[in-house]
Structure formats: C-alpha cells, structure tokens
Structure 1
Amino acid sequence: MLFAKLLPREGNFFEMFNQHADRIVEAAHAFSKLVANYSDPHLRQKFNQDVDIAERAADRVTHEVNKGIHKTFITPIDREQIHCLINTMDDIADLIQDSAETMALYDVHHMTDDIVRLTDVSVKCCERVRDAVKLLARIADPATAEAALKTCEEIDQLESDADRIMRSAMSKLFREEPDVRELIKLKAIYELLETITDKCEDVANVIEGIVLENS
C-alpha cells in the first residue's frame, strides 16, 4: 500500500490550466459587459459580481495547482514552470477584478472611448491566453507547438496595441481633462487596463519557454 502511494503520479495540471484560463476569459467578458453597461447601476453591479465570481473561481484553481505541485511525484512539465504559469495567470484575473473595483471605489461616472478600446484589447489578450494554454497538453506535436508560439506572438502584438492606445489616451487626458480629480481617476484605470495586457504577455513568455523546452 505504501509503495502504491509512492508511485510516480502526474497531476491533472493541463486540465486545471484550462479551467483557470476559462475563468480568466469569463472575468474579462464580465468586465467588458460592465464597461458597456456602465450607465445602468443595476447591470453594473451584476457584472461586477460576475467578475468577482470568476476571480474567486480562478483563485481556487490556483490553490489546487499549487497544492498539486507538492503532492505530485512526477509532473508533466517542470515544477517551476507550473508554479510560474498558474500564478502569472492568476495575476490576470486579479487585475481584472482590481480594474472593476477601482472604478467603483473612485466613483467613476462615465466610460471614455479609451477605456472601451483598452477593454476590448484586454479581452482579446485574455482569449489568446486561453487559446495558448489549451495547446500546452499537445506541444509534443510540432504543429501544435508552432500554433502555441504563433498565439503567443499574437498576444505580444496585442500588448503593443494596448501600449499605443494608452500613450494616446494619456496624452489626450493631460491635454483635455480640466478636472484634476477626474484625471487622476482615469489615469489609474488606464494604467490598470494596460497592465492586464502586460500580464498576458508575461503568460505568453512563460508558455513560449515551456514550448521551447518541451516540444
């Protein structure tokens, strides 16, 4: 019996990665709906709650993965890669929740076109992260490994798009916003939204490393 317990085991890490990636996309879509319906207090609250639910679900998956690292004798990829990937993914979910909370805490009254544009890019980034993560279990196949690397390149491009949008938004904000308090609020939100795409790029970099080392 003791020998059986000591046999090498592979935790179901790829499935948990996929679950977490799905929660990230759920949070991103809920946040996008929050932005789109921001003028309706009831819908704003509903979609804020949806973001929280998705983020908490992502936290639970992160906890299971980190617990699995210590309980699994043989892992499908390097333990440090597993730890880095799941925790960087969790940072994305946290940042989406932070963005929603910041809007509420700062009492932002309306959405700007630049918030909408940054939100759209963030959602696309999160969807590409999910797509790349779902390929990890099959990267031994050269075509799948190539597809994963291509998806990571798309994430890098989206992050660059977000950088350009934020630079333009900041320039416009400092030139045209007369209310200093509103300027401070919007600046913080722009930076948070751009950081979501930064963190997606971090995940892409981790995935690239996993693909290159294991394919």
Structure 2
Amino acid sequence: MLFGKLLPREGNFFELFNQHGGFIVEGARSFILLIENYGDTSLREKYTQEVGNAERQADRVTAEVNRLLHKTFITPIDREQIHSLINAMDDILDLLQDATETMLLYDVRKMTEDILRLGDLSAKCCERVQHAVSLLPKLSDHEAAAAAIKTCEEIDKLESDADRVMRAAMSRLFREETDVRELIKLKAIYEQLESISDRCEDVANLIEGVVLENS
C-alpha cells in the first residue's frame, strides 16, 4: 500500500491537453486572418508569425506530455490514448503551419473563395476540438460526456462539409484554371486545408473512444 502511495500519479495531462487545444485555436484564428488579409504584406507577415508561434508553443506542450508519460505510473486515461491524442492534436497545428508556409513558398498571389471556405471550416473544426478536449476532465458527469460526444459529431459533420467543398473546388480548378502553375499551387493548398479537418476528425474519433471507455 505504501509503495502505491509513493508512485507518481495522474500528472496534469488534462490541463496540458487544454493548453494545446488553446494553441490550436490561436493558430487557426491567425490563419483565417492571414488568408482574409493576404493582400496586405505587413499583416500577412504578422499572422504568419502568429501561426508559427502557436505551433512552437504547442510543440512544447506535446514534449511535456510525452515527458510526463515517462514519469507518471498511474495516468487518468490509458497511456496509449494520451500519446495518440496529443500527437493527433499536434498534427493539426503542423498542417496549419505547412499550409501557411506553402502559400509563401509557392508565391501565391491571391486567395480564392474556396481557400476561404476551406479555411473557415478548418477553423471551426479546430474550435470544436478545443471544446471537446476541455470536457475530458469531466467525463464522470453524464452531461459532460454527452456534450463531448455531440461535439465530436459536429466535427465529423464539418469534416464532411470540407470534403464536399474540396471536391467542388477541385472540379472548378481543373475546369477553369488555365495557368498550369497556378493549378498546381492551388491544388496543393486545397489538399492541405482539407487535411486539417481530417486530422480534427482523427482527434474526435480518439476522444469518442476515451469517452466510451471512461464515462
């Protein structure tokens, strides 16, 4: 019994998840401002830096979660769930930063309506991810568990919406864009933006598993 009391317990995994979720939302909001103000070079630089800052801060949270996993004997949820969840969350911000950098590297001159639509859906997915993550410490409460499942279902719907927008955007791009270089640039950006909602759905699926096992 004494040995059990001396073992490292719990850690602050839920708080770290919540911090990471906050950085995901920060990065997504800065990304939306970036594409909305893309024609203004000073604002473009400002919001690009903000996306990068959010990604770096989230990386530090991910590293802390992985460090705690090595030090904590008894965790609040399954260790593999913790590892998979924090890494799936980290993938979201990595893709936001990748999309930001791709626009600059490819010298994209202007944003299309389809980029704005996909960006908006991605940002909404990111906000729902943060909300779902914030409910994890309360899973013993039936209402909180139900709210987490509902939020995950909302993410699934947003991801389906992003799929539809992506298909329509690709169809329009190949029918209407005559500059091959622009076509290649925009195709890559559309695919990256759609991947953000895919990663959010991955997080939602992981959270649903946690809820079902622990509520």
CA deviations on 1:126-155 (whole Å, 9 max, x unpaired) are: 000000000000011111100000000000
Superposed displacement of residue 6, structure 1? 3.8
Identical pairs, percent: 71
Task: Give secondary structure in 2 for the equivalent of 1:14.
Answer: helix
Quote the offset at 1:73 in angstroms. 1.1
Task: Name the counterpart of 2:123.
Answer: 123
Q: What pairs with 1:65-84 in structure 2 (closer than 5 Å)?
A: 65-84=65-84
Q: Separation in 2 of the partners of 1:27 and 1:8?
A: 33
- Aligned residue type for 2:14: F
Q: Is the 8 A contact 2:8 2:71 kept in 1?
A: no
Q: Provide the residue aligned with 2:198 in structure 1.
A: 198
Describe the SS at the equivalent of 1:129.
Answer: helix
Aligned length: 214
RMSD over aligned Cα atoms: 1.3
TM-score (norm 2): 0.97
Q: Partner of 1:21 in structure 2?
A: 21
Give every structure 1 segment of 4 or more consecutive aligned residues whose post-TM-superposition deviation is greater than 3 Å: 2-6
Distance 1:8 1:120 in 2: 42
AA paired with 2:154?
E
**Aligned counterparts, 1:28-107, within 5 A:** 28-107=28-107
How far, CA to CA, are the matches of 1:192 and 1:119 in structure 2? 10
In structure 1, give the amino acid aligned to 2:119: T
Alpha-carbon deviation of 1:10? 1.1
**Residue equivalent to 2:178:** 178
The separation in 1 between residues aligned to 2:70 and 2:45, in whole angstroms, is: 38
SS in 2 for 1:108: coil
Q: Supply the distance in 1 between the matched residues of 2:15 and 2:176 (Cα, whole angstroms).
A: 48
Q: Measure the CA separation in 1 of the matches of 2:17 and 2:4.
A: 27
> Structure 2: 5+ residue runs without aligned partners?
none
Aligned partner letter, 2:151: T
Give unmatched runs, 5+ long, in structure 1. none
Pairwise CA distance, 1:3: 6.1
CA distance in 1, matches of 2:156, 2:96: 19
Q: Give the partner amino acid of 2:9.
A: R
Residue 9 of structure 1: CA displacement?
Answer: 1.5
Report the alpha carbon displacement of residue 5 of structure 1 after superposing the two structures with TM: 9.0
Q: Does 1:110 align with 2:110?
A: yes
Tell me the alpha carbon deviations over residues 96-150 of structure 1, each in whole angstroms, 9 at most, x when there is no partner. 0000000000000000000000000000000000000000000111111000000
Provide, for residues 30-60 of structure 1, a one-character-per-residue CA deviation record: whole Å limited to 9, x for no partner. Answer: 0000000000011000100000000000000
Give runs of aligned pairs for residues 144-155 of structure 1, distance below 5 A: 144-155=144-155
Q: Deviations over 1:162-186 (max 9, x none)?
A: 0000000000000000000000000
The AA in structure 2 aligned to 1:198 is D
Q: CA deviation at 1:201?
A: 0.1
How far off is 1:8 after superposition?
A: 3.7
